[in-house]
Structure 1
């Protein structure tokens, strides 16, 4: 592996890959940053499935206290359901997507558990992060002595297509779970995978590490497809050359299609009763299909056998499901075995794969990246052989690279990112960023509907003052300054409202597609001189999170500021 000297000032870096379907952690010490250790294997109870990640599931007691996480939570809730004692308990699974799908995310946003009971999302996310943090600390206790939480630089991974609100929500959950703000960095998932593949020894990955090489990273998780494009620079850092894109095209879409197929075979009523009364068997269906999903091939012929709990067959019969002779020659269901033509299984993958391939084709038509050298496929869904085959067919003239353990590439890369946070030296802005200003009204430019009067002078309200453009290349840690002033000498506090837009030049903050990003509030000097209140706002771009600081011009004093996105 390539040599790397850690820039981390703490004893070790620990990364948490908080996934839609599975979560896990890994860590390495400052003196051996590439000696990355993953968390111990978790077992799915009596099942054969052993994973280096744990299902992202949280079980809370009826009094809303934390009970368990992952396989343990699934198994406990399944046992409770078997005995009809699960009523009042809260079981949350695959809830990460709520941060992507909620338009107006706030710290008070609620999510529903498996039975439809609501709870603040922040509470659930906090329990999940706390569990991973505590499990990590317990693991460290078995390996080394005298390591405290203050010795750890934490990293939490998020999709690159998440906005600032979702990132800040994860940061808030982490601080609520006992991780200090100054001990936490946010890593972008496809970036992390790219970072790790720079040091992998696999010969297939050599093309990625040559100075000047360009490649696309396609990170396919359970919830999202997350895509970025990198170029290796002469100094060893990575330059993003196209803004991150993606969507909800992860492996969970295949799971949904599979459950829909089973529902059609067994009837809606049978499936609903099955999910309610046979919870352990319901989880087993997902676990068994997870293994089958990764192994099925595009050239498989004949029939595939999938184990189906006998309890679902009994409920299907109870609710008058189609009898065996009516299922057709391509599918049969006998006892606990469902046999179907492999072509029917492959059809379950068509939806997300077709959307994904079309999206990548559209990206490659952009002249900026049409000369890339390879496509790097990572993530749990990236392990799927059907996905691999679809990419090889669609992009036969390009090199497709799937690293060893593609499901762990993000996690290990996040650890390395914690040691070298500046390793991605240039990023491309996904949005136009700006602030709200109220300049003098110009009747030749501004519509009359935006005219207002302030201190006897006509002004134009709600104007979008652009600070960063869509697609702009931004070096790591670049500060962009913008000036501010008080309205009158009596003003003692200022608030800067920040906005983002996918449009290049929105005129007003009320323009369609322009979204409120957050605000920065700070105190102004107590002075009778208006100029004493003049200030400069420094917004830092080019990192994984947007940061801000404000300096009073006359005194050069920096005032405490935080961008409040939630």
Structure 2
């Protein structure tokens, strides 16, 4: 997105707010809540801060008037608010999701589908009880299947040439498919009429990329491609099949009964998707009003009450690389070069799947392996494995490092250091405290949930 566009957006936001709240001091009174993908790291968040500053929405890049929340959390908050409406509509006067019961949020976007299961606590707070899962099976994958269908009719080379030379026309053709077919498909064959996809009317330029054999056949058909019920259904089924498997996986990963499944995001408005999910699963399937706006509305609610999220479930195991005395069977690759009697190992501090509260701390105490050391470092690693032993194992990822000074060399190995990982709202704080001197050191990293 160009700088001019960002500036224009910022100007529009400020003008809109000023017309509704006269006398408001924007930089003092307005909190900007930004919903971000779970995968965003510190660099991405820093880029977001720069964009907001360039747009004139903050008066400094380090403004404390910016709060980040993840998109799955924002969607869950919106669904929690929607529960109040669902409870009012319940004719049996029973709460759909009582306090201390769980519900699942399936965020079906254009590219990805993300799932989380949350427990509703007292005072409208949420606890995450499963790891977030997801896959690339959003609504745009139906569009891809449509393009594959056209490729089978017109030849892969034809579609490739259109993509290379007239990409805008390809997108227009997809838009026509969405507005005329995709958005209206219910999955019910009763009353379905084969659709006449008129190439001459919708994408006339496509004709010039067809070879002679295809041209001859298409001219016999008046350049009309008939899309039958099974053709259209087969465009949806791969993505919907993945979504159903993801939901099944979420249900099996929790020991608690799921009281409701919320479908949000643009693709959740698909009647066929809704029908398939309702056929497969027992809990009530809820599509709230304006599901495409679930993340935006949930982010606003989060800004009004940031204590809503009380804990999260870790996707990774966190630990540090430490040196210990060698044991039989230790890999040679992990021998400490300058001290052959030592081996590097992964010391686990918190395991994947653990529920951690905001600002919860996990600690252990360490001593320098060499009594003459004047400093000590704590390299932090993450892995999806539960029982990893060494930092060179497959899937192990270096996360960052904290180094501290160690005075009082005369104390040798009697110098104790308490090392802690503190899980904040969206950041990981590594903290080390010299027990002898009381001096503390810390650094902050991005936190992957």
Aligned counterpart for 1:312 among listed residues 203, 212, 217: 203
Please say if residues 155 and 184 of structure 1, whose CA atoms lie closer than 8 Å, have aligned partners that are also in contact: yes
Per-residue CA shift, 1:315-354, capped at 9, x if unaligned? 324532765884799xx664xx754223312211111111
Find 1:375's aligned residue among 261, 276, 279: 261
- Tell me which residue corresponds to 2:129: 241
Q: Matches of 2:118 and 2:350 in 1, distance apart?
A: 21
What secondary structure does 2:279 align onto? helix
Gaps of 5+ in 1: 1-57, 61-65, 69-126
TM-score (norm 1): 0.67
Post-superposition Cα deviations, 1:8-38, rounded to whole Å, max 9, x if no partner, equal xxxxxxxxxxxxxxxxxxxxxxxxxxxxxxx
Larger helix fraction of residues = 2
User: By how many angstroms is 1:514 displaced?
Assistant: 1.8
Given the alignment of the two structures, is residue 364 of structure 1 paired with residue 251 of structure 2, yes or no? yes
In the other structure, the counterpart of 1:417 is 302
Structure 1 position 460 matched with structure 2 position 343: yes
Task: Give 3-state SS (helix, strand or coil) of 2:324's partner.
Answer: coil
Q: Would the aligned equivalents of 1:495 and 1:519 in 2 still touch at CA under 8 Å?
A: no
Pairing 1:196-235 to 2, within 5 Å after superposition: 196-200=78-82, 201-203=84-86, 207=95, 209-235=97-123
**How far apart, CA to CA, are the structure 2 residues paired with 1:271 and 1:312?**
12
Question: TM-score normalized by structure 2?
Answer: 0.82
Of 389, 394, 397 in structure 1, the residue corresponding to residue 280 of structure 2 is 394
Unaligned runs of 5+ in 2: 54-60
- Greater gyration radius: 2
What is aligned with 1:148?
A: 26
> C-alpha offsets along residues 253-312 of structure 1, whole Å, 9 cap, x if unaligned?
112222222334344444344334434433323433443423221115112355757473
Task: Tell me the distance in 2 between the aligned counterparts of 1:524 and 1:411.
Answer: 45
Q: Is the 2:130–2:250 Cα contact (8 Å) retained in structure 1?
A: no
Between the aligned partners of 2:351 and 2:435, the Cα distance in structure 1 is 26
How far off its partner does 1:230 sit? 1.1
Give the alignment partner of residue 168 of structure 1, picking from 30, 42, 51. 42
Count of residue correspondences: 429
Out of 432, 450, 456, the residue aligned to residue 334 of structure 2 is 450
Residue 36 of structure 1 corresponds to which residue in structure 2?
Answer: none
Please list the CA deviations of residues 398-452 of structure 1 after superposition, one character each: whole Å capped at 9, or x if unmatched.
Answer: 2101100111111111121223223122322222111111112223x63445333
- 1:428 and 1:494 map into 2 onto residues whose CA distance is 30
* Distance (whole Å) between structure 2 residues aligned to residue 255 and residue 362 of structure 1: 25
Decide which moves more: 355-364 or 277-286.
277-286
Q: Structure 1 residues 333, 241: closer, same or farther in 2, change over 3 A?
A: farther
Q: What is the match of residue 56 of structure 2?
A: none
**Does 339-348 or 269-278 show the bigger shift?**
269-278
1:212 Cα offset (Å): 2.2
Tell me, in whole angstroms, the C-alpha distance in 1 between the residues paired with 2:96 and 2:107. Answer: 16
Report SS of the residue matched to 1:438: strand
Q: Distance between the aligned counterparts of 1:351 and 1:521, measured in 2?
A: 46
Are 2:174 and 1:293 aligned?
Answer: no
Q: Helix, strand or coil for the counterpart of 1:199?
A: helix
Aligned partner of 2:357 in structure 1 is 475
CA deviation string 1:188-227 (max 9, x = no partner): 2222112112223532687455212211111111121111
Residues 287 and 280 (structure 1), Cα distance of their counterparts in 2 relative to 1, 3 Å cut:
same
Shift of 1:379: 0.9
Q: In the alignment, what sits opposite 1:511?
A: 393
Tell me: CA distance 1:311–1:213, structure 2 relative to 1, closer, same or farther (3 Å).
closer
1:367 to partner: Cα distance: 5.6
Over the aligned positions, Cα root-mean-square deviation in angstroms equals 3.4
Q: For 2:16, what is the secondary structure of its paired residue?
A: helix
> Which shifted more, 272-281 or 397-406?
272-281
1:433-444 equivalent positions in 2, closer than 5 A: 433-443=318-328
After TM superposition, the structure 1 = structure 2 runs for residues 155-194 of structure 1, keeping only pairs within 5 Å, are 155-160=33-38, 162=39, 166-177=40-51, 178=53, 179-180=61-62, 182-194=64-76
